[in-house]
Amino acid sequence: MKKESISKRDMDWHQLQAKSIMETLPYISEFYGKTIVIKYGGNAMIDEDLKHAFALNIILLKYIGINPVVVHGGGPQIGTMLKALNIESQFREGYRVTDDATMDVVEMVLVGKVNKEIVNLINLHGGQAVGLSGKDGMLLKAEPKELSIEKKDAPPEIIDLGKVGEVQSVNTKLIHSLQRDGFIPVIAPVGVDDKGITYNINADTVAGAVATALGAKRLHLLTDVEGLIDTDGKLISSLTTKEAFECIESGIITGGMIPKIKCCIEAVANVEKAAIIDGRVKNCILLELFTKSGIGTEVVK
């Protein structure tokens, strides 16, 4: 059968596609063989189109020789389940107070439901993902989080958060082993201490700790905002750790963005760059990695 000739319009389109692919070559070369840690959360975990795009982005990275490690959240899903079970949620300074009953629900939702849904999504699209919690191979060794609020002319208030934890150490051997065998680790932010006590850990914190322990090339925190916005309403595309501290002190960075920026500041001691990117944008991971300007706010040394 004679092959049909291609129209000039189609040829122009294919040339444009080829040009776009060629433009990614320097970035692929830069990141080849390197680890990228991605905190997956927000609307990107809810919207069906964004969920599928996320899975394909992760698989593409693996196919071209980059090692993605996914750390996921699940706050809204936990809240929904607690409400269904008539367990009241309490928050202090942005942290969910986690008693024994709440911890059981947190672990059930994060490890048993959300984690497996993400793993299944990646695998159904052609990847090889493995779900982990901090209990697997003592991946995330945890300790209780200490939280205090400074008060003027009075001793600081010590807040009991229950089983809210911080990462004490990360078992990188387990992650490296999975990476060598071609698997994509998907990590639920649940840790355990030496006594076997389980802790609920902030997903951003876990992502930062994992990136630091692995000496990752990049840390990406997916969120539901464009990035860090200045007082004129414009996106701040890049800032140093010194500038980030100054933005916190001056009040440019407020609310829930403060812990994310602090996570980035801590990570870039061992990670080349950390970025807060808009998970509401389709293919946001590829756009951040493979374009000159990126799409979010990056923090550098």
Task: Enumerate the domain spans of the chain.
Answer: 35-300
Tokens 């925190």 identify what position? 221
Domain formed by 35-300, architecture: 3-Layer(aba) Sandwich (3.40)
pLDDT of 80 reads 92
Structure tokens at 239: 């800032």
| pLDDT at position 190 | 96
pLDDT band at 245 (very low <50, low <70, confident <90, very high): confident
Maximum CA pair distance of the chain? 88
Give the Cβ contact number of residue 146 at 10 Å.
Answer: 11
What does residue 297 show for φ and ψ, rounded to 5 degrees? -110, 120
Distances (CA, A) of 165 to 200, 221, 266: 6, 20, 17
Backbone φ and ψ of 193, nearest 5°: -100, -175
**In the chain, what percentage of residues exceed pLDDT 70?**
96
The model scores a pTM over 0.95: no
Contact 141, 172 (CB under 8 A): no
What are the beta bridge partners of residue 143?
Answer: 166
φ/ψ of 164, rounded to 5, equals -95, 130
pLDDT of the residue at 3: 56
Residue 91's H or E segment, with its range, is: strand 91-92
Burial class (CB in 10 A: 0-12, 13-18, 19+), 95: middle
Cα angle value 138/143/144 (rounded, 5°): 145
User: Can you tell me the mean pLDDT for 197-212?
Assistant: 95
17 pLDDT more than 60:
yes
Are 66 and 36 contacting, i.e. CB atoms less than 8 angstroms apart? Answer: yes
Answer positive or negative: Cα dihedral of 215, 201, 205, 184: positive
d(CA 249, CA 70): 31
Q: What is the pLDDT of residue 159?
A: 78
Q: Is the pLDDT of residue 9 over 80?
A: no
pLDDT value at residue 2 = 52
Average pLDDT of span 267-281: 92
Query: For residue 97, what are its two tokens?
Result: 């107070």
What are the tokens at 261?
């920026």
Task: Output the pLDDT for position 130.
Answer: 97
Provide the 3-class DSSP secondary structure of residue 280.
Answer: coil
42-92 per-position pLDDT tens digit = 888 888 999 999 999 999 999 999 999 999 999 889 999 999 999 988 888
pLDDT confidence band for 292 (50 / 70 / 90): confident
Is pLDDT at 19 greater than 70 in this prediction? yes
pLDDT bin (cut points 50, 70, 90) of residue 231 is confident
Cα 90 from chain centre: 24
Please provide the size of the chain in residues: 301
Instruction: Summarize pLDDT for 146-193 with one digit per residue, the tens.
Output: 877 776 666 777 778 889 999 999 999 999 999 999 999 999 999 999
Residue in 275, 215, 207 with CA at minimum distance from that of residue 239: 275
Percent of the chain scoring above 90 in pLDDT: 60
Q: Above 70 in pLDDT, residue 124?
A: yes
pLDDT tens digits for 182-192? 999 999 999 99
**pLDDT tier at 5, thresholds 50, 70, 90:** low
Residue 139 confidence (pLDDT) above 80 = yes
